[in-house]
């Protein structure tokens, strides 16, 4: 199998799985228990927290474990709104957020909040429109770091200076699920108050993620229960999964992998010169979005699947597979491109041979399948 759908999820690292089993057996206690089994779990959990913190260049007290990127986004967004809603009713986000953020925004609109969605201009986050949207009654800015369908990178570090000047009450949140472990995620340099990450995108197991909350920032979590994770995410902590996540963080080498994956993406663009490859000026090398005019992406996906090459159409993160074109059209794709898009997403273990096989199969598919399957 040639797996080129790493933005959907990654193969867990052997070391992460070994850690998961080891902690499940040998530190199985509840991390809230006061006996030695509980303390063993606490030790495993705190080691994992330090590993996540190290990739974010933050203090480990600023890392809170959650069940994944979706829950981190929900806690960041609703936690901010619950905390700051007396100061204003205005929220700024980006028009091509993942459903984990977009659907929070839809809910907040129903509750009477004003949500402004910033799109792209000339193939980049429209920073001028963003600046114009800022005002003193903005309470939350939630702008993703790297887009999951195209790899477009937003200029997160440009947000804080504008926020400080024009919307000082607002917290800054970024969904960094597709950037963590891949792009620089030094939270001080990014200038964010809250940042969401997920384990299964970087070789950890599923069902665990983390939310960074900058020291001094307080959110009012929408999750009620036993007060775990300092009241941010109640619920018995999934310590084995957190420990496996820690191992994935320790093994992540963003700088080295960036160079390798950039070379791979460049090679893929050359080999796939018979379809349109979409590249933004600020581009994550981990995602390559291509369109084959006149062909339906889904048909091509199934053709490639029959050759044991796995790619995606757009985001795989919606459980009902519903796609509405919102994410791609706000990044400049037209309707035909939306229906024909294929998302190829890499990890550092992919090879040029994988790309050669993809290019050969796709060329064959385009020759075999009939056009007009839009």
Residues lying near ligand PLP in the complex (CB under 6 A) are found at 68-70, 98, 100, 144, 148, 175, 177-178, 198, 209, 317
Structural tokens at position 292: 């084959």
Q: Going edge to edge, which strands form the sheet with 90-94?
A: 63-66, 209-213, 194-198, 171-175, 138-142, 90-94, 114-118
For the CB of residue 165, give the shortest distance to ligand PLP in the complex, in Å.
Answer: 28
Structural Rg of the chain based on CA atoms: 21
**Active-site option among 185, 249, 269, 317:** 317
CB nearer ligand PLP, residue 319 or residue 370 = 319
Closest to ligand PLP by CB, 69 vs 365, is: 69
Closer to ligand PLP by CB, 11 or 34: give it: 11
Rank residues 212 and 295 by Cβ distance to ligand PLP and give the closer one: 212
Catalytic residue list contains 94: no
**Spatial distance between the Cα atoms of 197 and 19, rounded to a whole number of angstroms:** 20
Q: Which residues contact 33 (CB under 8 A, 6 or more apart)?
A: 41
**CB of residue 328 to ligand PLP, shortest distance in Å:** 14
8 A C-beta contact, residue 268 and residue 288? yes
Rounded Cα–Cα distance for residues 314 and 337 (Å): 11
Render the burial of 309-328: b for 16+ CB within 10 Å, e for the rest: bbbbbbbbbeeeeebeeebb
Q: Which is nearer to ligand PLP, 295 or 346 (CB)?
A: 346
Closest approach, Cβ 224 to ligand PLP, in A, equals: 20
Give every CB contact of residue 92 below 8 A, 6+ residues apart in sequence: 115, 116, 118, 130, 133, 134, 138, 140, 141, 142, 143, 167, 170
CB of 251 to ligand PLP, least distance (A): 18
Rounded to 10°, the helix 254-271/352-368 angle is 30
CB of 92 to ligand PLP, least distance (A): 17
Using Cβ positions, the residue closest to ligand PLP within the complex turns out to be 69
Q: Which positions are annotated as active-site residues?
A: 317
């Amino acid at each position: 199998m040639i797996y080129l759908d790493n933005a959907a999820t990654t193969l867990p690292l052997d070391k992460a799985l070994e850690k998961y089993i080891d902690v499940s057996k040998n530190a199985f206690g509840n991390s809230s228990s006061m006996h030695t089994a509980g303390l063993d779990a606490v030790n495993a959990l705190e080691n994992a927290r330090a590993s996540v913190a190290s990739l974010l260049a933050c203090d480990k007290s600023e890392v809170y474990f959650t069940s994944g990127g979706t829950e981190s986004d929900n806690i960041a967004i609703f936690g901010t709104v619950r905390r700051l809603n007396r100061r204003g009713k205005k929220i700024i986000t980006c028009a091509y957020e993942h459903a984990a953020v977009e659907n929070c925004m839809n809910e907040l609109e129903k509750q009477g909040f004003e949500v402004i969605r910033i799109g792209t201009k000339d193939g980049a986050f429209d920073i001028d429109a963003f600046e114009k949207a800022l005002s003193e009654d903005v309470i939350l800015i939630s702008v993703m770091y790297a887009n999951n369908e195209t790899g477009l990178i937003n200029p997160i570090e440009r947000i804080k200076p504008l926020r400080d000047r024009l919307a000082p009450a607002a917290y800054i949140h970024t969904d960094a699920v597709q950037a963590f472990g891949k792009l620089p995620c030094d939270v001080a340099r990014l200038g964010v108050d809250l940042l969401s990450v997920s384990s299964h995108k970087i070789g950890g197991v599923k069902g665990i993620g983390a939310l960074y909350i900058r020291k001094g920032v307080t959110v009012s979590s929408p999750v009620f229960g036993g007060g775990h994770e300092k009241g941010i995410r109640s619920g018995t902590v999934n310590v084995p999964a957190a420990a496996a996540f820690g191992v994935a963080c320790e093994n992540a080498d963003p700088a080295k992998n960036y160079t390798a994956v950039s070379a791979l993406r460049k090679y893929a663009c050359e080999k796939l010169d018979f379809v349109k490859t979409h590249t933004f000026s600020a581009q994550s090398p981990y995602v390559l979005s291509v369109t084959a005019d006149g062909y339906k992406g889904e048909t091509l996906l199934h053709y490639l699947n029959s050759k044991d090459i796995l790619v995606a159409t757009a985001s795989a993160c919606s459980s009902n597979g519903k796609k509405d074109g919102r994410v791609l059209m706000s990044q400049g794709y037209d309707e035909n491109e939306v229906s024909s898009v294929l998302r190829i997403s890499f990890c550092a273990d992919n090879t040029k041979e994988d790309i050669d096989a993809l290019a050969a199969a796709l060329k064959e598919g385009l020759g075999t399948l009939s056009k007009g399957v839009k």
